[in-house]
Structures are given as C-alpha cells and as structure tokens.
Amino acid sequence: QQQVKQSPQSLIVQKGGISIINCAYENTAFDYFPWYQQFPGKGPALLIAIRPDVSEKKEGRFTISFNKSAKQFSLHIMDSQPGDSATYFCAAFPSLGGWDDMRFGAGTRLTVKP
C-alpha cells in the first residue's frame, strides 16, 4: 500500500499556466516533505521541501502548500515552462527516523506545451 498518495498521474499544461500536483499521507510521524524533479534518463533531484511548521514555502516559480490537519501538501508551478516538463515525485520523511524511512509518491508526469 502506498503511504504517500500522489495525483494526478499525468498533467498537461500550456506554457505560462499553473501546474498543480497533490499529495496526501497518513503517517503522522512524517514531518519533512520534499519534492523531487526527474528528467528523462536522469535520477531524481531535490526541488523544494517543507516542514509542517509553515503552511507555504516558495522558491522562485515553485511553491509548496501544506495542510497539516488534512495531511495534504501540494506543489504549484507558476508560469510553467516547457523546460519544466519532467516527472515530479512527492515524498514524506520522519525526521526521528532516517532516509531509509522516506516514502515516495507514485509520480506525476508533467508536460508543458509551448
């Protein structure tokens, strides 16, 4: 069973639009929520991460919104560009545990059309 549920599985957005990817978790021990970006033929790379003491974190065009009571978090990509086309994974991690306790979502394949 997937401990971190991610949706949608795929997403097509026009250039300049907003891309939104959602994730939900059950385990309340999770307290670190990173997002990874993976280009074809490459390994995942950390994009942005959030801890539950804040409800939002912004880095450039990328924003994580976090809803602790609903146990949900989402990635928003503003002004989406063709270069953002990649697979995005959310993940959840219990800081009292370790990296081996990290759980990943199933991934969202984002295509940004020019």
Partner 1 sequence: NAGVTQTPKFRVLKTGQSMTLLCAQDMNHEYMYWYRQDPGMGLRLIHYSVGEGTTAKGEVPDGYNVSRLKKQNFLLGLESAAPSQTSVYFCASSYDRNTEAFFGQGTRLTVV
Site residues for partner 1 per CB under 8 A: 2, 4, 6, 9, 41-46, 89, 95, 98-100, 102, 104-107
Using the minimum distance from each CB to partner 1, give the nearer residue, 80 or 105: 105
Using the minimum distance from each CB to partner 1, give the nearer residue, 81 or 87: 87
Least distance to partner 1 from the beta carbon of 82, Å? 22
Least distance to partner 1 from the beta carbon of 114, Å? 26
Secondary element (H or E) of residue 60: none
Name the burial class of residue 80, with classes exposed (0-12), middle (13-18) and buried (19+) by CB atoms within 10 angstroms of its CB.
buried
Least distance to partner 1 from the beta carbon of 78, Å? 24
Using the minimum distance from each CB to partner 1, give the nearer residue, 81 or 106: 106
Cα pseudo-dihedral 78, 6, 38, 91, rounded to 10: 100
- Is the distance from CB of 102 to CB of 25 less than 8 angstroms? no
User: Which residues are 64's β-sheet partners?
Assistant: 57, 75
